[in-house]
Amino acid sequence: MVVSIGVVSVIVTLSAILTYFLAKILRVFHLISKFDGPPALPIVGNAHLFHQDAREFFKQQEEWMKKYESKGIMRLWLGPMPLLGVYKAQHMEVVMSSSRHIKKGYVYTFLHPWLGRGLLTSTGQKWFHRRKLLTPTFHFSILQNFMDVFNEQSFIMAKKMEKFADQSEPFNIFPQITYCVLDIICDTAMGKSINAQGEGDNEYVTAVISMTNLVQERMKKPWFWPDLLYDNIQSGKKHANNLRVLHDMTTKIIKQRLQEPPRALDGSEKDEVAGKRRRIAFLDLLLQMHREDPSFTLEDIREEVDTFMFEGHDTTAAAASWTILMIGRHPEVQTRLHEELDEVFGDSDRPITADDLQKLQYLNCVFKETLRLCPSVPMIGRDLEEDCVIDGKVVPKGTLVVLGIYALHRDPEQFPDPEKFDPDRFLLENSTKRHPYAYVPFSAGPRNCIGQKFAMMEDKVILANLMRKFSVEAIQTMEETNPLGELIMRPRDGIYVKLSRRK
């Protein structure tokens, strides 16, 4: 009798647990099914429809989003996981403006081995604390100290470009800009010169580029997700080797800097050997935080330096490269841009100042319009940790919401004739009435990009110093570059241009 009661108790308990989880699954299915999307199969969902080729997969996403454009919402199933793609300003605002929906999507966990739980990948109270701690390091007065680096490295790039000028054969400008940006980010993040523009086969530079590619490859291939499998295949072993190189470099520089006297953070300190002001890097600011608050550990510092390196090179290089493509495709835009540059600089080759950037309003419009058509981050994933309401319907907890920035920026209600490249869209009189969440190349709300001012200053200095010396002709359309909408939007086949010296 005792055994029977025990058996009954186990059965009742298991039945209650099963009923609870079944009810939970049915609720999610019932709520998500209210949104339109492609037909799904049991167990696999829509995964069988996905193209494995990166370019075809991106085109497939574009086709789906156009199909459901009127609502700006599309439902998919990734196996048993519900996914909701949103790409209308009013729907983006629901998620982006919330301080509750800040957890990044599952695929961001593949950045953890490299970046740890830093500002990009953390969530909850750790993220709020880290964001508050790091925000002062991106104050405008601090960013102005980096103008010397922006100018110095972009001058080097422009000088190297002279060998391509006035030749009949086009060349791929994308890697040239990438090396320039890597030199900038290493100098500003770590205070370390790596001379990527002089020696592209630098071990650290190679590891940064390779690691970025490997992470994006793994995100697209669910069979690479289990660590036990990934660690034992060729890609996983290459990943481990890159990780060693990246962490060894960052750790070494942090230890070296700790042994030096703290640097004056106002930039007033002189380098006795070089005879000029000693540069301040983000690392110096982070070490000062560590000295003031030991709970911000050296491991935390390494996470943030590595995060700066990841977020600060690929996105920025892509944005500058796409802008060159757009300028080279639109001669009338290039003419207006050259006129503005000549008005500000004449025939001077002096460095650009922060005040100059304020005067380059048309360059600002050109850059913003490029980021509309070619956002560096084409989509963002958020895992809902509680229900929310979008378009009058409940989106259940556990749903992966994909914020489709690429599609959002092509909403004809917000941007008439959306595929047309028109920098005048961003003149003050043309943009003030636009929905505040219609244009979000750096995300928006509490989880917006902390480094957006840094990135915009850097890219505009690179572009201005290049266009002061050269005219550019792009020989491809955007479609012909085969853009890939992965973690970063970049051209699969490079960006080929011809340069000519300005007279």
What are the residues whose beta carbons fall under 8 Å from the beta carbon of 289, sequence distance 6 or more? 133, 296
Q: For residues 145 and 254, what is the distance between their CA atoms, to the nearest angstrom? A: 21
Contact call for residues 91 and 73 (beta carbons, < 8 A): yes
| 416 exposure class (CB count in 10 Å sphere: 0-12, 13-18, 19+) | exposed
Q: Sort residue 474 into left (φ over 0), alpha (ψ -120 to 50) or beta.
A: beta
Tell me which H or E stretch contains 305. helix 298-329
Does the annotation place 449 within a ligand binding site? yes
Q: Burial letters for 176-198: b for 16+ Cβ neighbours within 10 Å, e otherwise?
A: bbbbbbbbbbbbbbbbbebebbe
Residue (of 232, 137, 253, 136) closest to 190 by Cα position? 253
- H-state helical runs in 68-146: 89-96, 112-115, 124-134, 140-143
Neighbour tally for 155: CB within 10 Å? 18
Look-up: residue for tokens 């520089």?
A: 253
The number of residues making up the chain comes to 503
Tell me which H or E stretch contains 501. strand 496-501
Residue (of 485, 465, 490) closest to 318 by Cα position? 490
Q: How do 483-485 and 489-491 pair as beta strands? A: antiparallel
Residue 249 to residues 15, 242, 288: CA-CA distances in angstroms?
A: 54, 11, 20
Residue (of 185, 177, 235) closest to 490 by Cα position? 177
The DSSP annotation for 43-58 comes to: TTBTGGG--SSHHHHH
Q: For residues 62 and 191, what is the distance between their CA atoms, to the nearest angstrom? A: 41
Q: For residues 81 and 72, what is the distance between their CA atoms, to the nearest angstrom? A: 20
Q: Sort residue 124 into left (φ over 0), alpha (ψ -120 to 50) or beta.
A: left
Q: Which amino acid is at 405?
A: I
What are the residues whose beta carbons fall under 8 Å from the beta carbon of 267, sequence distance 6 or more? 145, 277, 278, 279, 280
Residue (of 177, 146, 148, 147) closest to 160 by Cα position? 177
Binding residues: 449
Binding residues for heme: 449
